[in-house]
Amino acid sequence: MAELKERTFIAIKPDGVQRGIIGEIIKRFETKGFKLVGMKMLQASENLLMDHYADLKDRPFFPTLINYMSSGPVVAMVWEGKGAVKTGRVMLGETNPADSKPGTIRGDFCIDVGKNIVHGSDSVESANKEISLWFKPDELMTYTSCAFSWLY
């Protein structure tokens, strides 16, 4: 059974921020029943982005990706709940919006893979690494949501 306190890292990329759909993305995670335990808006530094995307450093699109992600503010979030990583990825849709189903964030809000609005951790291990890159431990909240007993 998936851990009830599993955490995932979700980031609204600069195009999502600029298009004014931060609230819509947050609403989808809240409506699903996940608990927001950390959130901040920041201009991601090149060093942070290089660490975050280190596994892609040899790919030809890497410089474009770093440029895109540093082009404006990002909203970094940590969501908690049963199956948060896997379910979060399903909610986002495929990396290429053309392959995303309607009803997913990318399926509903984007067209081009180079401007795909949101990042989500692809495994629990990645989530833990990404959360520690973007958040200090004291920036994450521990609390019991009043909806907990209605979800689990």
Q: Which residues are designated catalytic?
A: 119
Residue whose C-alpha is closest to residue 64's, from 13, 138, 131 = 13
Q: How far apart are CA 148 and CA 82, in angstroms?
A: 11
89 carries a ligand binding annotation = yes
- Asked whether residue 116 is marked as a ligand-binding residue, the answer is yes
Is 13 annotated in a binding site? The answer is: yes
Token pair in block for residue 2: 């998936």
Query: Would you say 61 is a known binding-site residue?
Result: yes
Cα 25 to Cα 61: distance, rounded to the nearest angstrom = 26
Q: CA gyration radius for the chain?
A: 15
Binding-site residues for ATP sit at 13, 61, 89, 95, 106, 116
Binding-site residues sit at 13, 61, 89, 95, 106, 116
